Amino acid sequence: MSSGPFFVPSVIPNNTQSAMTFYVSPTGSDLNSGLSAGSPLRQVNTALDRLRSFDKIRHLMTIDTAPGSYDGFSAQGLHFDFLTDGSTAGLFIKGALAATTELTQGTATGTITSSVTGSAATGTFTQIVDSAQNWAVNQLKGKLIQWTVGATTTVLVILENDATSFRCTTTSAGPSAGTAYTVSDAGCVADGAPVYLSGNVPTLTTAASAASPCQIIVTGNITSPLTTSIRIEGFRTSVASPTSTNRGIFCDSGGGNVAIGRCQVNSMSAGTPIQLLGSGTVTLTAVVALSAGTVAMIAGGSTLGIAPNVSLNGVLLGSSSTTISSFGGSHGQGVTMFNTQIDGPIGINIVGSCNLSMSSAIRILNGSSQGIRSRSSSSSFGGAVISLLSGSGLVMDGRSVGLELNGMHHAEFVGNLILSNCTRGIVCERGSSCGVSAGSSMTATSGAELTVDELTDTLANMRAATPKAFKNPSYFSVIYE
CA atoms within 13 A on the CB side of 38: 0
Q: Which of 177, 175, 112, 168 is nearest to 140 (CA)?
A: 168
Statement to judge: residues 327 and 268 lie in one domain: yes
Q: Is residue 8 part of a domain?
A: no
- Is there a domain that residue 75 lies in? no
CB 75 within 8 A of CB 90: no
**pLDDT at site 278:** 79
Neighbours of 327 (CB within 10 A): 22
What pLDDT shows up at residue 4? 52
Q: Does 170 lie in the same domain as 273?
A: no
- CATH number of the structural domain spanning residue 125: 2.40.10
In-domain check, residue 127: yes
On whether both 327 and 381 belong to a single domain, the answer is yes
- Tell me the C-alpha distance between 133 and 115, whole Å: 14
pTM: 0.88
Count of domains in the chain? Answer: 2
Would 364 be classed as within a structural domain?
yes
Quick one: pLDDT at residue 105? Answer: 96
Residue 298 lies in a domain: yes
Mean pLDDT by 10 residues, the chain (481 residues): 52 86 98 97 96 93 97 92 79 97 97 97 96 98 96 97 98 96 97 77 48 88 76 94 89 86 88 86 94 84 59 94 77 83 92 86 89 71 79 89 80 83 76 68 58 38 35 31 30
Domain of 289 in residue numbering reads as 215-479
Residues 151 and 274 in one domain: no
Whether residue 73 lies inside any domain: the answer is: no
Judgement on whether residues 462 and 346 belong to the same structural domain of the protein: yes
Give the β-pairing of 264-265 and 229-233: unpaired
Looking at the structure, do residues 328 and 457 belong to the same domain, yes or no? yes
Residue 27: per-residue pLDDT: 97
Virtual torsion, Cα 162, 320, 304, 275, nearest 10 deg: -60
Q: Which residues contact 110 (CB under 8 A, 6 or more apart)?
A: 130, 132, 133, 180, 181
pLDDT at 454: 36
41 within domain boundaries: no
pLDDT of residue 210: 52
User: CA–CA separation, 59 vs 161, rounded Å?
Assistant: 43
Same domain, 163 and 277: no
User: Rounded to the nearest 5°, which phi and psi values hold at 455?
Assistant: -50, -45
Residue 349 sits at φ, ψ, to 5 deg, of -115, 115
Last-in-domain residue among 186, 205, 235: 186
